[in-house]
């Protein structure tokens, strides 16, 4: 682009001096020819200048889009690692409890009642301290909810979860955890500057769809972050919902914000198609 603009300037200057040369040494040449050369060079220059300007704008837009996609990819990877760590931590806790309960059973079989009683007391006390909760049968979803619960308690946010899900869902194991990770993060972010802080989340499923509804407190003072983490989280959710043949809707009511999602339960849909074909 730089060389094209330089070439344009060179040609324009050359045309100008050519017009001057013709005017001085060839006075018989009609003035219209001189005028045509001058104005023609300026028109060519203007056209090329605007072309170069347009290409620079497109280049900057493309550069911003590439940068945004790279940042989105980085955020996705970070969120995936965070979700996996939350799942692993929750699974580790459950495995430790199961391991200790099995040891208690072994001690009881060996008539080691005092050791069994002491170990059971440790397990019970640890259970009370950690306040382990089970919101649903799906371990991955439950791990994310427990993880975000600590953040909500930290910011004094009242929360209510109503989650009804089967133990196994015919979706990629990280789809629902990633969606919940993002919408809960957005809700926690929105609640931080509100007086009445609350988050209400309900998840249900049918033979065909999984529905997610969340309502949280919101503030009109809060600025919309189009390309901030909040915006990227929303974009990630929309992509996941779209990939799973679902719909997504956001409702900003001023003091409250609603998130409504429907995802196709692929296994159930395939069974329905199979039955209809039969």
**CATH code of residue 247:** 3.30.565.10
272 domain residue, yes or no = yes
C-beta separation of 49 from 8 below 8 A: yes
Q: Classify each residue of 214-224 as buried b or exposed e, where b means 16 or more C-beta atoms within 10 Å of its C-beta.
A: bbbbbeeeeee
Q: CB count, 10 Å around CB of 96? A: 12
Query: In this structure, are 46 and 169 located in the same domain?
Result: no
Q: Does any domain span residue 228? A: yes
Give burial (CB, 10 Å; 0-12/13-18/19+) of 84.
middle
d(Cα 168, Cα 267) in Å, to the nearest integer? Answer: 11
Most confidently predicted of 14-23, 70-79, 133-142: 133-142
**Could you read off the pLDDT of 113-137 as tens digits, one per residue?**
787 778 878 776 776 655 556 788 7
Query: Rounded to an integer, what distance in angstroms lies between the CA atom of residue 75 and that of residue 71?
Result: 6
Tell me: do 138 and 55 sit in the same domain: no
162 and 36 share one domain: no
- Could you tell me how far CA 9 lies from the centroid of its own chain? 47
Query: What is the arithmetic mean of pLDDT over 204-211?
Result: 88
Q: What per-residue confidence (pLDDT) applies to 201?
A: 95
Query: Do 27 and 146 lie in a common domain?
Result: no
pLDDT tens digits for range 11-25: 666 666 666 666 666
Dist. CA 225–CA 101, nearest whole Å: 48
Mean confidence (pLDDT) of the chain:
76
- Strand 247-252 vs strand 209-217: parallel, antiparallel, or unpaired? unpaired
Q: How many domains does the chain have?
A: 2
% the chain with pLDDT above 70:
68
Q: Which tens digit of pLDDT belongs to each residue from 38-51?
A: 667 667 767 777 77
Q: Which of 159, 219, 137, 214 is nearest to 182 (CA)?
A: 214
Does residue 243 sit in the same domain as residue 151?
yes
Say whether both 37 and 147 belong to one domain.
no
- Selected residue with higher pLDDT from 173 and 24: 173
217-258 pLDDT, tens digit per residue, is: 987 655 544 333 456 778 889 988 998 889 999 998 888 999
Pick the most confident of 32-36, 65-69, 193-197. 193-197
Give me the domain span that covers residue 167: 133-278
Do 147 and 264 lie in one domain? The reply is yes
Which of 108-112, 127-131, 210-214, 233-237 has the lowest average pLDDT?
Answer: 127-131
Residue 105 within any structural domain of the chain = no
Residue of higher predicted confidence among 148 and 97: 148
This prediction's pTM: 0.59
Query: Is 277 found in the same domain as 170?
Result: yes
Do 172 and 262 have their domain in common? yes
């Amino acid at each position: 682009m730089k060389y094209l603009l330089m070439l344009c300037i060179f040609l324009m200057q050359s045309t100008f001096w050519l017009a001057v040369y013709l005017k001085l040494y060839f006075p018989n040449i009609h003035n219209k020819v001189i005028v045509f050369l001058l104005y023609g060079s300026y028109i060519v220059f203007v056209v090329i200048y605007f072309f170069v300007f347009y290409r620079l704008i497109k280049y900057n837009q493309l550069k911003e889009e590439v940068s945004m996609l790279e940042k989105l990819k980085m955020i996705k990877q970070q969120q995936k690692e965070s979700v996996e760590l939350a799942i692993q931590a929750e699974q580790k806790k459950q495995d430790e409890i199961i391991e200790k309960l099995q040891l208690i059973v072994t001690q009881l079989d060996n008539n080691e009642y005092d050791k069994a009683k002491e170990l059971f007391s440790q397990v019970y006390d640890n259970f009370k301290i950690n306040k382990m909760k089970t919101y649903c049968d799906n371990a991955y979803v439950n791990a994310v909810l427990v993880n975000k619960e600590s953040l909500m308690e930290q910011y004094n946010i009242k929360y209510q979860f109503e989650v009804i899900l089967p133990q196994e869902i015919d979706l990629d194991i990280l789809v629902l955890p990633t969606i919940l990770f993002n919408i809960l993060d957005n809700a926690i972010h929105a609640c931080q500057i509100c007086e009445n802080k609350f988050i209400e989340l309900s998840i249900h499923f049918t033979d065909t769809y999984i529905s997610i509804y969340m309502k949280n407190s919101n503030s009109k003072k809060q600025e919309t972050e189009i390309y901030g983490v909040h915006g990227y989280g929303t974009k990630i959710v929309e992509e996941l919902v779209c990939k799973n043949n679902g719909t997504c809707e956001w409702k900003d009511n001023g003091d409250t914000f609603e998130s409504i999602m429907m995802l196709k339960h692929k296994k159930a849909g395939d069974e329905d198609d199979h039955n209809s074909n039969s």
